[in-house]
Structure 1
Amino acid sequence: MNTVEVVPLVDEGLGNSAYLVDLGDGRAMVVDVSLDLRASSAAARRRGLTVAFAADTHLHADFLSGARQLSATEGTRVLASAAGHREFTHSGLRDGDEVDLGGLRLRALGTPGHTQEHLSFLLLDGDRPVGVFTGGSLLVGSAARTDLVSPEQTEALARAQYASLRRLAELPDDVAVWPTHGAGSFCSAPPGTERVSTIGREKSTNPLLQREDEDGFVAALLGSLGTYPPYFRRLGEINRRGPAVLNEDPALAGLDAATVRAMLAEGARLVDVRPVTEFAGAHVPGALSIPLRPVFASWLGWLAPHDRPLIIVRGSGQDRAEIAWQATKIGYTDLAGELTGGIDAWTAAGHPTTSTRLVGPDQVDGRVLDIRQTPEFAAGHLPAALHLELGDLPDRADEVPGEPLVVMCGHGERAMGAASLLEQAGHRDLAVLTGGPEDWATATGRNLETGQ
């Protein structure tokens, strides 16, 4: 085989890439594919390929793997680490094991660090290494976090990550690097647009790979770790047991206003996915605002309870299938349905609504709560702004001072989510800034402050 076609399938919201490999004989292999198989299935269909292999580099914490689904519905052979002790049919691989793909070969490389059982997969054409699927080991410009297993093992895994990266650096410089985690991933990929690389490029540009001393590597890696969504702590075990096989695509059943009101009284939670301006104009009291956009799944997994039925309120032009798939791929399978007719049906039934005030960059007055991630806040924030990350707000809303309060982020979507959580906690006289710190600085002619 002279050329090997490897097609990246990018999930911009989760910041991850799966890969479809054309094996050259009408068959394909997918690597680190999620339970939302729409993109990989479409890519295979366009090329007339049957997915014969599904390889998982590790027990994913940020999405449900689609490997078991493919095995159950298409007879796909699952390739994964034997040390992962998966409880469904798969070929358990260990360091050095090879799989004949029909002309191409796949060699398992033990690269623990991101997880204990992590494998990278070296793709070979004959004896020529073509590229390596590095999963959560070597990333473009970085390496994946090592604190997802347990606090007690974080440093030991960071040291294992150091050894794994050094091993990968021994591959020829022209070998392609195909990582799973990329920009936007909470598994610690730096910002940037490049999602694939080469060994040679990473050796010359990756700050972590350039660190010769293990202690310095560990300090740099652990010092870069930010917060991550709590759903990460659940999905690894679900993927080990095997996600439930879907017999049909996830969907949102229609629920009338009376049913929704009764379910809310029994503990269901309402998630409003409409744009910020629509939510601000009128929403059901107690609703959680998470606007539908590429990062919807991440914030759903961060803010919404996983142990209660979820009811969706959406706008008429928003794709119900997209909502259902984004929730399902991160393990939110208890979707009770959606409010039929949306907010208009709620008001037509005589049920109350509330609103949230929006303010422009030149209208900020009084206390400001900045709910961005800590590195964002440190890079530039309004003088005297209070800081509390949005992900911490569900457990720390009582630490937020009284009203009036302007809540802000970078554009307004996360700030509205924070405001909805504060409203649930009893806060009133809240406003949301329609913009970010740079907009405020431009409008007022004042300087931002840096640091924490």
Structure 2
Amino acid sequence: MATPTRVSLEDAVSFTDKHLIPLADEGLGNSAYLVDLGDGRALAVDASRDLRALREAADRRDLAVAFTADTHLHADFLTGALQLAADDGATVLASAAGHRTFPHTALGDGDEVDLGGLTLRAMATPGHTDEHLSFLLLDGTRELGMFTGGSLIVGSAARTDLLGADRAEELARAQYHSLRRLAELPDATAVWPTHGAGSFCSAPSGSERTTTIGAQKAANDLLAAPDEETFVHRLLGALGSYPAYFDRLAEINRRGPAVLTAAPGLEPLSAAAVRNLLGSGAHLVDVRPVAVFAAGHISGAVSNPLRPAFATWLGWLLPDDAPLVFVLGPEQDPAELAWQAAKIGYDRLAGQLAGGIDAWRADGGAVETIRLVTAAQIGDRPVLDVRQDAEYRSGHIPGATHTELGSLDGHTAADGMVVMCGHAERAMTAASLLARSGTRGLAVLTGGADDWAKATGRNLEDGA
């Protein structure tokens, strides 16, 4: 194994601009990468089962995916590696310690793969998971960049509690040593993480999704920790809740998700068919915008507007082992919904109500409403804040009670309560869950805590 030579910052930037194509999933807060190997072939890194953006990028450059690498057993999305192997004949590269049960090239610390001019070197970086690898991309002996997955990320490091709370500290200590090892790379080395802002695998807010080793030495609070104990305290102290489906996907990824033989979609269902399905235990999900849902929806429907965060809340709040029926608006794309569901393993999609809510009404179906209110209209009504803990602590309406949306299903609340989040989407989801459990007279705040402060001229409260 040749000793690497230091790459200049200019070389790393030039390679990134010319040959690296980041593919951001804004909803999950992740990035996959497509690397143009320069000979008509490509390497994909941490590709999800939703390969639409990756295939579009490859087609634009007339690239065939020859290799696909996964840095770890993902908990937040199903890997696209098997699909790329089946469709493109790509060689799957992954950690030997992951004990995957499907064909792949099993790699350990220091193993190298010849990509045809470029070389990919595996580096064991446990912490986020215990089988985690980072991949150093080399041009000869020049270090171009590191795919760090859920190890070193922009401004932080990924969470270490996905294998159970009882292992969180152990893996946090492993993460400490992994980051210290990565920090030994030259400052100019590009860092290409998978998890970024918006990921529940843990990342701070911010728009930057890639960085360099030197930039993280200067700005990453975890990397700046003076010792292991401080690092562990900082990392574990920043962990919040995460979607329920995270506990299922790693094992599915170890066995290998089913290869799709056709693009997922939604079958049209009559109003009568929807009634029969609901009577047999199916769940109804209404993906129309908040205001449209508020004006009229089917009793028992869960509101989850079709937006980038749709998959996260689908996986957090709905079961994956029961049929799901959807209500869409006329301008909404059922293919987008089906792909978002498929990437987190939701394949039991019974279909969509043909003709939408108008067809339901025409068939004699009743609808319910939920009132939307502005901050000035709350008055002295009780308020339920369903944002994440960190959001609530940073500033909330005085006297507001707090339960995270992800913990709300099955709970009841006081009749007449106003539910709030930041922009009303999560609040409407919460209100629909509460209404399904029997709470009446609910209203949803159309804005957030800052809107309340501006409307009333009063200060928000900080802390728990």
Match of 1:406 among 385, 408, 418: 418
In structure 2, the residue matched to 1:268 is 282
User: What percentage of aligned pairs have identical amino acids?
Assistant: 65
Q: Which amino acid aligns with 2:22?
A: P
In structure 1, the residue matched to 2:293 is 279
Matched, 1:15 2:29: yes
In structure 2, the residue matched to 1:198 is 212
Matched, 1:63 2:74: no
Task: Return the alpha-carbon distance in structure 2 between the equivalents of residues 293 and 247 of structure 1.
Answer: 26
Spell out structure 1 runs of 4+ moving beyond 6 A. none
> How far apart are residue 36 of structure 1 and its match?
0.2
In structure 2, the residue matched to 1:438 is 450
Cα displacement string for residues 26-47 of structure 1 (whole angstroms, at most 9, x for unaligned residues): 0000000000000000000000
> How far apart are residue 377 of structure 1 and its match?
0.5
Q: Which amino acid aligns with 1:87?
A: T
Secondary structure of residue in 1 paired with 2:110: coil
- Residues 436-445 or 232-241, more deviating: 436-445
Task: Return the alpha-carbon distance in structure 1 between the equivalents of residues 43 and 271 of structure 2.
Answer: 46
Q: Which amino acid aligns with 2:104?
A: H
Task: Return the alpha-carbon distance in structure 2 between the equivalents of residues 81 and 139 of structure 1.
Answer: 19
| Residues 405-424 of structure 1 aligned to structure 2 (within 5 Å) | 405-424=417-436
Matched, 1:315 2:329: yes
> How far apart are residue 278 of structure 1 and its match?
0.4
> How far apart are residue 304 of structure 1 and its match?
1.2
In structure 1, the residue matched to 2:3 is none
| Residues 72-111 of structure 1 aligned to structure 2 (within 5 Å) | 72-111=86-125
Q: How many residues align?
A: 449
In structure 1, the residue matched to 2:390 is 375
Cα displacement string for residues 203-246 of structure 1 (whole angstroms, at most 9, x for unaligned residues): 11100001120011001000000000000000000000000000
Task: Return the alpha-carbon distance in structure 1 between the equivalents of residues 168 and 391 of structure 2.
Answer: 24
Match of 1:177 among 179, 191, 206: 191
Matched, 1:384 2:399: yes
Secondary structure of residue in 1 paired with 2:43: strand
| Residues 15-164 of structure 1 aligned to structure 2 (within 5 Å) | 15-164=29-178
In structure 1, the residue matched to 2:4 is none
> How far apart are residue 403 of structure 1 and its match?
1.4
> How far apart are residue 345 of structure 1 and its match?
0.4
Q: Give me the CA root mean square deviation.
A: 1.0
Cα displacement string for residues 348-401 of structure 1 (whole angstroms, at most 9, x for unaligned residues): 000111010110110003100000001101111111000000000014x14x3x
Match of 1:447 among 435, 456, 459: 459
| Residues 235-384 of structure 1 aligned to structure 2 (within 5 Å) | 235-365=249-379, 366-384=381-399
Task: Return the alpha-carbon distance in structure 1 between the equivalents of residues 194 and 54 of structure 2.
Answer: 14
Task: Return the alpha-carbon distance in structure 2 between the equivalents of residues 212 and 412 of structure 1.
Answer: 41
Task: Return the alpha-carbon distance in structure 1 between the equivalents of residues 226 and 415 of structure 2.
Answer: 52
Secondary structure of residue in 2 paired with 1:270: strand
Q: Which runs of 5 or more structure 1 residues have no equivalent in the other structure?
A: none
What TM-score does the superposition give when structure 2 sets the normalisation length?
A: 0.96
Q: Which amino acid aligns with 2:315?
A: G
Secondary structure of residue in 1 paired with 2:27: coil
Q: Which runs of 5 or more structure 2 residues have no equivalent in the other structure?
A: 1-6
Cα displacement string for residues 54-110 of structure 1 (whole angstroms, at most 9, x for unaligned residues): 000000000000001111111100000011011111000000000000000000000
In structure 2, the residue matched to 1:231 is 245
Task: Return the alpha-carbon distance in structure 1 between the equivalents of residues 280 and 342 of structure 2.
Answer: 23
Task: Return the alpha-carbon distance in structure 1 between the equivalents of residues 86 and 38 of structure 2.
Answer: 24
Q: Which amino acid aligns with 1:367?
A: P
In structure 2, the residue matched to 1:429 is 441
Secondary structure of residue in 2 paired with 1:336: strand
What TM-score does the superposition give when structure 1 sets the normalisation length?
A: 0.98
> How far apart are residue 320 of structure 1 and its match?
0.9
Task: Return the alpha-carbon distance in structure 1 between the equivalents of residues 311 and 177 of structure 2.
Answer: 33
In structure 2, the residue matched to 1:6 is 20
Task: Return the alpha-carbon distance in structure 2 between the equivalents of residues 36 and 306 of structure 1.
Answer: 17
Task: Return the alpha-carbon distance in structure 1 between the equivalents of residues 321 and 44 of structure 2.
Answer: 31
Task: Return the alpha-carbon distance in structure 1 between the equivalents of residues 110 and 90 of structure 2.
Answer: 22
Cα displacement string for residues 263-288 of structure 1 (whole angstroms, at most 9, x for unaligned residues): 00000001000000000000000000
Cα displacement string for residues 158-180 of structure 1 (whole angstroms, at most 9, x for unaligned residues): 00000000000000000000000
Task: Return the alpha-carbon distance in structure 2 between the equivalents of residues 57 and 314 of structure 1.
Answer: 36
Task: Return the alpha-carbon distance in structure 2 between the equivalents of residues 159 and 137 of structure 1.
Answer: 12
Task: Return the alpha-carbon distance in structure 1 between the equivalents of residues 59 and 336 of structure 2.
Answer: 20
